[in-house]
Amino acid sequence: MPAQDTEAIILKTFPLGEADRLVSFLSRSSGRMRGVAAGARKLKNRYGSTLELLAHVQMEYIERETRDLVRIQQCDLLDSFHAAQSEYSLATGLALVSEIVEILLPEREPAEAMFRLVLLTAREIERRKEWRIPAGYFVFWAVKLAGWLPPLDRCGKCGAQLGSGDGYHASWSPGQLCRDCRHPGMRAISLPAREVAPLFARKGLEKLSEAEAPGGLVGELRDACLDWIEHHTERKLITRNLLETA
């Protein structure tokens, strides 16, 4: 089998056997894949710091005929997110992105738009030394790309316009409900927070300022989007609880 050469983002690694690592990664050309980095747990190894969370690498791997795990031959670092990886709150932002990509993308289906979104998000967390706006932007676009973003101006049940009133969401509900239709336990999203959505939709993350997208409003929108991801994937996001302390 000839070696494949691809740009990739490292999603997660797990210890494998005595000396190896199992690596989940997002290939720019082939989508989410898994491979083995042989000897990666040895003190001296050829992968260096290329297998860190959301590291952006040029990767060479070999397909193995009988197994779905590829053999990772070599990685060269293209973008280092060292500051973000080594600071707890920033690393929590990276981990949220990684977990969502893992549960959202099927294996081996090209996902170029998601690749670019993940790379942009990691670069912005590193550049800003701040995770709230980049992670909020990522979560919003992840929901939008998946086709799960409900109309934000009206109730998903009775269709009433929300106007300046709150919308209500929960991880057991696909859309957003008005005050009259809401169920106990649903959380509110305010009009100013809903208005962050069109801003995220039309403006590049690099150009968004804290003044336009204040942390509190971004947090409200993120919370609603995380509910919709949990609803559609039928999974609980583990990193979601860590955000409270990040």
In terms of CB distance, is 108 or 179 closer to Zn ion?
Answer: 179
Residue 152 in contact with Zn ion, rule: CB under 5 A? no
CA distance 239 to 121: 16
AA identity, residue 66: T
Among 33, 96, 122, 155, interactor with Zn ion by CB under 5 A = 155
Residue 61: partners with Cβ closer than 8 Å, 6 or more residues away:
3, 4, 6, 35, 70, 71, 72, 73
In terms of CB distance, is 22 or 160 closer to Zn ion?
Answer: 160
Residue 162 in contact with Zn ion, rule: CB under 5 A? no
In terms of CB distance, is 85 or 173 closer to Zn ion?
Answer: 173
Apex 231 CA angle, 29 and 98, nearest 5: 35
Measured from the CB of residue 192, what is the shortest distance to Zn ion in angstroms?
20
Residue 178 in contact with Zn ion, rule: CB under 5 A? yes
The stretch near Zn ion (CB under 5 A) out of 26-34, 96-104, 137-145, 179-187 is 179-187
**Binding residues among 92-151 for Zn ion as defined by CB under 5 A:** none
In terms of CB distance, is 145 or 160 closer to Zn ion?
Answer: 160
Burial (CB count within 10 angstroms: exposed 0-12, middle 13-18, buried 19+), residue 54: buried
The stretch near Zn ion (CB under 5 A) out of 47-55, 146-154, 173-181, 211-219 is 173-181
The stretch near Zn ion (CB under 5 A) out of 105-113, 140-148, 180-188, 220-228 is 180-188
**Binding residues among 62-91 for Zn ion as defined by CB under 5 A:** none
Measured from the CB of residue 154, what is the shortest distance to Zn ion in angstroms?
8
Among 146, 181, 188, 242, interactor with Zn ion by CB under 5 A = 181
Among 19, 83, 113, 158, interactor with Zn ion by CB under 5 A = 158
In terms of CB distance, is 55 or 224 closer to Zn ion?
Answer: 224
Among 157, 203, 232, 235, interactor with Zn ion by CB under 5 A = 157
Measured from the CB of residue 217, what is the shortest distance to Zn ion in angstroms?
23
8 A C-beta contact, residue 99 and residue 65: no
3 beta partners: 62
In terms of CB distance, is 2 or 163 closer to Zn ion?
Answer: 163
Chain contacts with Zn ion (rule: CB under 5 A):
155, 157-158, 160, 178, 181
